[in-house]
Amino acid sequence: MSNKTTAKEAGTLTAKHSIDARDLLVKYGFIAVTVLFFVYFAATIPAFRQSSTMFSMLKFTSVVGIAGLGLTMTMVVGGLDLSVGATAGMAVTVAAMTMVIYAQQGWVAIVAVVIAGALIGAFNALLIVILKIPDLLATLATMFLIQGLKLVPVDGQSVSSGLILRDGSVAPGKFTSDFLQINRGSLGPVPYPVVIFFVIAVLSWFFLSRTKWGRVMYAIGSNPEAARLAGARVGRYKAVAYMMSGVYASIAGLILASRIGQGDISAGNSLLLDAVAVSLVGTSVLGVNKPNAFGTALGAILIGILLTGTTMMNFPYYWQDVVKGLVLLVALIFSFTLSRRKTRFVAAVPL
Amino acid sequence: MTTLRATRRKGILFLAILLSLAIVAAGCSQDSGDDTTTTTAATETTVATETTEAMAAAPAPFDAPPVKIAVVQNSGAGDYFQQWSSGAKLQADAIGIEYTWYDAQADNAKQATDMETAIGSGVVGIIVDHGQTDTMCPLINDALAAGIPVVIYDIAVQECAPDAVQTQQSDASLANLSLSQMLQDIGADQNVGYVNVLGIAPLDRRHVVWEEYVDQSPWSQEFFVGEFTNAVATDNAQLVDAALKANPDVRAIFAPYDELTKGTVSAIYENNLEETVWAYGIDISNADIEVMTADGSPWKATATTDPNAIGAAVMRTMALELAGEQTNRLVDFPGVLVTQAFLLDNAITNMVELRSAMPELNLAEVQSADWIPSVEF
């Protein structure tokens, strides 16, 4: 997936600087680390080499990657959407309710979930753009709101077929088999979640790096006032970024729902921090030092490789958090310490 | 100036590389098969682990170890699962099973991808510990279809995956043990109280037994309270307190989960009823033993299993299944009764002393064979 993109990105980036060792390290260090780990695991763990392992790793990565790409959109305009995990969790409950309680078809559930995601994004935009609440605080409030609200219609229960409803009747529907295919199906050997992840990553990269709108979003992120004076409609762009984030998170939730096969109320709980981590790791890829789609996707894959590899080496679960922390730290060192470019992550948040 | 900065950068670069190397190095030491975590966990929970001698030559595939399996666990965190995992790992080492341990950290979606990875990783057997039926069932069937035997611990899959071996601690036996002691202590025709939370699979299975006892003893159930929260003991103490104020004439209370029992016991103390109202529970821990053996404690009996022994017995079930010797598809691990009198008579103050006083907690004879060295705790 990455070869073409890498070459293009690298081409545009190297033009201005003369190449020395440190520049090389900043640009390719992270990719090199990824490749090194991949080769190391592949050489030492026979099971890691299996193509089925690769695909289940990418499947696992796809959910974090998609949520991270949405988060990247909001980071580009200088914000941070803390509600992505909760949105994905809500998507799981909405999908389960649509199919199990209202006995609707799978495609209805998909439409309902995406609309719900867009609405949450719009709600965030309302808080941030119109009510002028700082991004972090607004999305934190949204996170708690939807974490709780999603449980109201289901009385705090996980929604699965055979659920007893409030009036004592049994829920009439179940997860449809076509909906379950979102996670279980595949295009040739490539599972659908990986296909969805790839398509969203490419579209996001194209949108941010190759369109006028993407450039305006970066301009807003680095200096909203200057962007406004230059004629950009800052509020609208921010609103779009948050709605994209909501929709992406709900798509991640669709994959989760299909994977779990029931309205698990704990779904999405661990997603937020993982999504933040891959987006931050992504800023260091290719020495770009700003949030970017290619980096986020690669960051997600690197963390997927590390988690799969360390699991196969029987690292206890707590060591996996240590590994994630080290990866993030190394990425931050590449970005902040080694790079000559001025680094910008999240623009100043007035706290 | 430039040199200074360059030196500093080199130092930082070195640090970065060091960090990366640390990850790799840590990986190497784990890979060598010397599982230090397991050993530590085991010594924390047991005084001495002994292994029975294998009396016969091992059948295929155990004649050519290591036999590679995967354990796909919903969550390995918490005292119970730490002990369960530690027991299973020790038993695996004793038989010559090499395991890859997947821990989804209570993330059901991650457990699903873990299962997929395990199926594709070339193992000859998979143990699935806990998880959601709807999530795991299709994957368990995928594994069985790929010719990989699956042993389940405590997920209801008998209907959707009848070819998997389903193991569970016998909640019915635990409830029976505790309730038969209660019947013996207080007799028939008594007023009784009940503390339980329905909708949680093991507690539901205990509930079925309770209803039988109430019907047949017969007892008159004066109250039924209980809620599942983040602080079960404290929150249920308030509920039972209120229920006891309304019904101080009950003779005994059944609270079939130790956190519920602890809450019940403190409510009994609160109402100064420890002379007349007795508590019966399920499960035991160091803290529970302290409560049970306190002066004048109303907690008269509990029934329990040893999570270490259960983990080991599940691993032996995997071994039997791989050797083609496991015929039943359902395996229940029996519990044992622990009475207050037994604890006091033997001056037992903690789990280690309890294990040595009650060798039947070991389950060493359960799910074993003459070619299997059973671990004991």
**B20/B363: higher pLDDT:** B363
Q: Is residue B85 predicted with pLDDT exceeding 50?
A: yes
Q: Is residue B179 predicted with pLDDT exceeding 90?
A: yes
3-state DSSP assignment of residue B255: strand
Q: Is residue B115 predicted with pLDDT exceeding 50?
A: yes
- As separate numbers, helices (DSSP H) first and strands (DSSP E) second, chain A gives 15, 2
pLDDT at B231: 74
pLDDT at A341: 65
CB A327 within 8 A of CB A306: yes
Could you count the other beta carbons within 10 Å of the beta carbon of residue B35? 18
Instruction: Please provide the distance, in angstroms rounded to a whole number, between the alpha carbons at the two ends of chain B.
Output: 65
Quote the strand ranges of chain A, DSSP E.
186-187, 190-191
Q: Which residue of B has its CA nearest to A312?
A: B100
Q: Taking CA B75 as the corner, what is the angle to CA B71 and CA B81, rounded to the nearest 5 degrees? A: 85
Question: Which band of pLDDT confidence, cut at 50, 70 and 90, is reported for residue B285?
Answer: confident
Question: Which band of pLDDT confidence, cut at 50, 70 and 90, is reported for residue B20?
Answer: low
- For A199-243, the DSSP string reads HHHHHHHHHHHHSHHHHHHHHHHH-HHHHHHTT--HHHHHHHHHH
* CA B343 – CA B357 distance, rounded (Å): 9
3-state DSSP assignment of residue A263: strand
Report chain A residues whose CB lies below 8 A from the CB of B132: 158, 160, 260-262, 264
Domains and CATH numbers, chain A: 34-337 (1.10.3470)
CB A346 within 8 A of CB A74: no
Candidates A270, A308, A316; nearest CB to B107: A270
Judged by CB atoms closer than 8 Å, whether chains meet at B120 and A333 is answered as no
3-state DSSP assignment of residue B101: strand
Reported as a single tens digit per residue, the pLDDT across B193-247 is 999 988 777 888 899 999 999 999 999 999 999 887 767 888 889 899 999 989 9
Distance from the B108 Cα atom to the nearest Cα atom in chain A, whole angstroms: 6
Tell me if ipTM is over 0.85: no
- Which of B88, B39, B37 is closest to B333 using CA atoms? B88
The whole-number average pLDDT for the span B313-322 is 96
A77-86, A180-189, B2-11, B93-102: segment of lowest average pLDDT: B2-11
H-run or E-run covering B331: strand B330-333
The whole-number average pLDDT for the span B9-21 is 49
pLDDT at B29: 39
Judged by CB atoms closer than 8 Å, whether chains meet at A52 and B119 is answered as yes
Kindly state the DSSP code that residue B375 receives in the 8-state scheme: E
Q: Which residue of B has its CA nearest to A58?
A: B113
Domains and CATH numbers, chain B: 37-163+307-335+362-376 (3.40.50.2300), 171-304 (3.40.50.2300)
Mutation target among A61, A260, A303, A306 for the B interface, most CBs of B within 10 A: A260
Distance from the B256 Cα atom to the nearest Cα atom in chain A, whole angstroms: 22
pLDDT at A141: 96
Q: Does B117 touch chain A (CB under 8 A)?
A: yes
Q: Which residue of B has its CA nearest to A34?
A: B20
Candidates B23, B99, B108; nearest CB to A267: B108
* CA B303 – CA A340 distance, rounded (Å): 66
A-B contacts at Cβ under 8 angstroms: 128
Each residue's pLDDT, cut to its tens digit, for chain A (351 residues) gives: 444 444 444 444 444 445 677 788 778 888 888 899 999 999 998 888 888 888 988 998 999 999 999 999 999 999 999 999 999 999 999 999 999 999 999 999 999 999 999 999 999 999 999 999 999 999 999 999 999 999 888 877 778 877 778 787 888 889 999 999 999 899 989 999 999 999 999 999 999 999 999 999 999 998 999 999 998 999 999 999 999 999 999 999 999 999 998 888 888 888 999 999 999 999 888 877 889 999 999 999 998 998 888 888 888 778 888 888 988 898 888 877 877 666 555 443 333
* CA A86 – CA A88 distance, rounded (Å): 5
* CA B352 – CA A245 distance, rounded (Å): 53
Report chain A residues whose CB lies below 8 A from the CB of B105: 270, 317
pLDDT at A330: 86
Q: Does B234 touch chain A (CB under 8 A)?
A: no
Q: Is residue B329 predicted with pLDDT exceeding 90?
A: yes
Distance from the A293 Cα atom to the nearest Cα atom in chain B, whole angstroms: 24
3-state DSSP assignment of residue B120: helix
Kindly state the DSSP code that residue A6 receives in the 8-state scheme: H
**Residues in B 291-330 with any Cβ partner in A closer than 8 A:** none
CB B115 within 8 A of CB B109: no
Q: Does A3 touch chain B (CB under 8 A)?
A: no
